[in-house]
Amino acid sequence: MTDRPADTDAYHADATDTGTFDVVVIGAGPPGENLAERTQAAGLRTVLVERALVGGECSYWACMPSKALLRPPAALAAARAVPGARAAAHGSLAVDEVLASRNAFASGWQDDGQVSWLASVGVELVRGQGRLTGPRTVVVTTPEGSERRLVARQAVALCTGSRATLPELPGMAEARPWSSREATSAGQVPDRLAVVGGGVVGVEMAAAWRALGARVTLLARGPRLLPRWEPFAGELVAEGLARSGVEVRTGASVSALRRPDEAGPVVLDVSGGNAVIADEVLFATGRRAGTENLGLDAVGLTPGDWLDTDETLRVRGVPGDWLYAVGDVTHRAMLTHQGKYQARIAAAAIAARAGGAPVDDGPWGRHAATADQRAVPQVVFTDPEAASVGSTLEQAEAAGLRVRAVDYDLGSVAGALLYAEGYRGRARIVVDLDREVLVGATFVGSGAGELLHAATVAVAGEVPIARLWHAVPSFPTMSEIWLRLLETYRG
Ligand SMILES: Cc1cc2nc3c(=O)[nH]c(=O)nc-3n(C[C@H](O)[C@H](O)[C@H](O)COP(=O)(O)OP(=O)(O)OC[C@H]3O[C@@H](n4cnc5c(N)ncnc54)[C@H](O)[C@@H]3O)c2cc1C
Ligand SMILES: NC(=O)c1ccc[n+]([C@@H]2O[C@H](COP(=O)([O-])OP(=O)(O)OC[C@H]3O[C@@H](n4cnc5c(N)ncnc54)[C@H](O)[C@@H]3O)[C@@H](O)[C@H]2O)c1
């Protein structure tokens, strides 16, 4: 299935030529990279198109730098919570070192390492802005301004991600707000930071910049933080933020902004409350699809829309079996690990269809991204951490399931008492009463993220409660929470 031209150098040099590949992938975030690696490994000659840095948002302005900012305060807090260790951890964070470590985790915003990796797995890279011009055809505008036409024999995969979306408010341009990009890459700690939005980016970045010394005000327009989570998650995260010194204001909607002096502070008018004065303001108010200037109209789709996909990640509404999408652009589950999972599924489906093999797209089949609907894990890296998989009680009830929620105080198990003095946390499982399996679980507490994968296995594996009873957690670990939850359920 590969037919690389004999003279590869000449092929690269001609910027106006047409290259024919088996698979053309647009967007080199982790999902795009993974899809390209796997189709190439399946014997399908694959080219990857990227207009910016190979590695995408996650590597340079999202997961990696944000977690590099959040890990040092978490480590310090963990040491301070243990009698005997506390005395050795009375200093403060070395802010310059934290920022330098963050820079290193973002690879200094250089993609050489990922470019070498791509070459090592045999995937060709074309730098530039890609757009569809018709079925199976992509035109790339290179940084030099020339155009290159790429034709795909088997599939085109759109992996173009998402971008921060900022509300249109009076004074927005003058305020020069931060988006998640500045919040993860800024080199200076602002004296005062206002954060708008009580979702995941809002709470994580409020925690990070507070730990680095900023005076932070978090403004959430709803009644609680993390609105799509079990209510206790937002409550305990808000409590942790407040304990660290963040001023958390719920029911606070920003109506306008002003920064009259370019070098001076920004003023945020808040409906029904006091104005907030800050040196920087971060808008953490969600994402929009990375589908503008992608030529969607050339194949009958609407630019700017999220891409609707079937379980094999094929884009709905486009005839033929050739257009796929994975990652944020599908709006299925905007997380790196889910995007990479979709890439594994889509690459297998593309290879199966290319080889005329059967496609196994039933629930939990080899070519179906079923976990996107049933078992998406996520960890919010605040202190306490919040970790969840599957449905909340409210979501399960709304889906028409007959369910029961079982709650337990995470701080009461021996492993948690040893982990931190005065450990505060809570756990909930949501049990489908008709099938006697877990459909959701949430853990909130320091280090709770590491409890999550067991729950993901239970939910994705639909492990019967009767069998989970035989999965004995080690003593004295925090995983003993499983025993307490199951005892409570069984009565
Ligand atoms: C602050 C923050 C923290 C996060 N933390 C986590 C976390 O801890 N864990 C987690 O799982 N997820 C996290 N996420 C989410 C995660 O970053 C995304 O789910 C992930 O980056 C999605 O990958 P993607 O490839 O779909 O999109 P992106 O990473 O956005 O990559 C898309 C790529 O496509 C390129 N591109 C777009 N259009 C074109 C075009 N027309 N031609 C050529 N190239 C194009 C872009 O330049 C980009 O490189 C976080 C997000 C944010 C904002
Ligand atoms: N640790 C992680 O897994 C992690 C970390 C960061 C981001 N992410 C992912 O990145 C994506 C983006 O995160 P996000 O926090 O930007 O989006 P989000 O959708 O999680 O939260 C945005 C919040 O902003 C609020 N909002 C929207 N418009 C507003 C307005 N005009 N004024 C005030 N509030 C407004 C929304 O009600 C919502 O609560 C999410 O899908 C998230 O899962 C994951």
Reported as a single tens digit per residue, the pLDDT across 67-86 is 999 999 999 999 999 999 99
* Residue 71 CA to ligand 1 centre (angstroms): 21
Residue nearest to atom 21 of ligand 2 (CA): 199
Q: What's the CA gap between 15 and 146, in Å, rounded?
A: 6
Mean pLDDT along residues 138-158: 97
325 lines ligand 1 (CB under 6 A): no
The arithmetic mean of pLDDT across residues 226-252, rounded, is: 98
Residue 342's pLDDT is what? 99
Please report the pLDDT score of residue 92 as a whole number. 94
CB 286 within 8 A of CB 166: no
Give the pLDDT confidence of 392-427 residue by residue, as tens digits.
999 999 999 999 999 999 999 999 999 999 999 999
Q: Is the pLDDT reported for residue 2 higher than 60?
A: no
Q: Name the residue ranges covered by the structural domains of the chain.
A: 17-55+111-163+289-371, 172-285, 384-490
For the domain made up of 17-55+111-163+289-371, the CATH class stated in words is: alpha beta
What would the pLDDT profile of 149-195 be if each residue is shown by its tens digit? 999 999 999 999 999 999 999 999 999 999 999 999 999 999 999 99
Whether 42 shows a pLDDT value over 70: the answer reads yes
Three-state DSSP class for 137? strand
- Residue 284 CA: which ligand 2 atom is closest? 16
Q: Is the pLDDT of residue 370 over 70?
A: yes
Which of 57, 59, 163, 201 to mutate to test ligand 2, by most ligand atoms within 8 A of the CB atom? 201
Which residue CA neighbors atom 38 of ligand 2 most closely? 199
Whether 121 has a pLDDT exceeding 80, the answer reads: yes
How far apart (Å, rounded) are the C-alpha atoms in residues 366 and 100?
A: 42
**Residue ID of nearest Cα to ligand 2 atom 28:** 285
Q: Which of 58, 200, 250, 283 to mutate to test the pocket of ligand 2 (most atoms within 8 A of CB)?
A: 200
Q: Report residue 304's pLDDT band, with 50, 70 and 90 as the boundaries.
A: very high
Mean pLDDT of the chain: 95
Q: Does residue 66's CB lie within 6 angstroms of at least one atom of ligand 1?
A: yes
For 376, list phi and psi in degrees, rounded to 5. -90, 115
Q: Confirm or reject: Cβ of 287 under 6 Å from ligand 2.
A: yes
- What CATH class does 384-490 carry? alpha beta
Predicted model pTM: 0.96
**Three-state SS string across 218-285, please?**
EECCCCCCCCCCCHHHHHHHHHHHHHHCCEEECCCCEEEEECCCCCCCEEEEECCCCCEEECEEEECC
Which has the closest alpha carbon to 333: 157, 150, 200?
Answer: 200
pLDDT computed for residue 272 by the predictor: 80
Give pLDDT, residue 17. 62
| Residue with CA at minimum distance from ligand 1 atom 52 | 62
Across 242-252, average pLDDT: 98
Closest of 320, 363, 366, 356 to residue 38, by C-alpha = 366
Render the burial of 166-183: b for 16+ CB within 10 Å, e for the rest. Answer: beebebbeebebbbbeeb
Burial of residue 490 (CB within 10 Å: 0-12, 13-18, 19+) is exposed
Atom 1 of ligand 1: nearest residue by CA position: 62
Confidence category of residue 5, pLDDT binned at 50, 70, 90: very low
Q: Do domains 17-55+111-163+289-371 and 384-490 have the same CATH topology?
A: no
71's CB contacts (< 8 A; 6+ apart) are 381
* 14, pLDDT greater than 80: no
Q: Is residue 224 predicted with pLDDT exceeding 70?
A: yes
Instruction: Give the mutation target among 37, 57, 209 for probing the ligand 1 site: most ligand atoms within 8 A of CB.
Output: 57
* DSSP reduced 3-state for 353: helix
Which atom number of ligand 2 is nearest to the Cα of residue 378? 3
66 against 90, higher pLDDT: 66
Q: Are strands 129-134 and 124-127 parallel, antiparallel or unpaired?
A: unpaired
Atom of ligand 2 nearest to the CA of 227: 39
pLDDT at residue 114 greater than cutoff 70: yes
Which pLDDT belongs to residue 16? 53
pLDDT score of 11 more than 50: no
Nearest bound ligand to the CA of residue 28: 1
Q: Is the pLDDT of residue 322 over 90?
A: yes
Residue whose CA is at the smallest distance from ligand 1 atom 45? 27
- Tell me the ipTM for this assembly: 0.98
Which segments of 275-419 are extended strands (E)?
A: 276-278, 280-283, 287-289, 323-325, 377-380, 385-390, 403-409
Percent of the chain with pLDDT over 90: 96
Angle at 354 between CA 351 and CA 360, to 5 degrees: 60
Quote the CATH superfamily of domain 172-285: FAD/NAD(P)-binding domain (3.50.50.60)
pLDDT greater than 60 at residue 10: no
Nearest-10 Cα torsion for 276, 201, 458, 487: -20
223: pLDDT strictly greater than 80 = yes
Q: Is the Cβ–Cβ distance between 171 and 258 less than 8 Å? A: yes
- CA dist 485 and 75 (Å) reads 28
Question: For atom 10 of ligand 2, which residue has the closest CA?
Answer: 334
Dist CA 288 CA 144 (whole Å): 28
Give the pLDDT band (50/70/90) at residue 8.
Answer: very low
Atom of ligand 1 nearest to the CA of 53: 49
pLDDT of res. 167: 97
Segment 432-470, tens digit of pLDDT: 999 999 999 999 999 999 999 999 999 999 999 999 999
201 Cβ below 6 A of ligand 1: yes
226: confidence class by pLDDT, cuts 50, 70, 90: very high
- Residue 222: its pLDDT value, please? 96
Q: What is the mean predicted confidence (pLDDT) over 88-112?
A: 97
According to the 3-state scheme, what is the secondary structure of 367-389?
Answer: CCCCHHHHCCEEEECCCCEEEEE
433 Cα–ligand 1 center, Å: 38
Cβ of 184 less than 6 Å from ligand 1:
yes
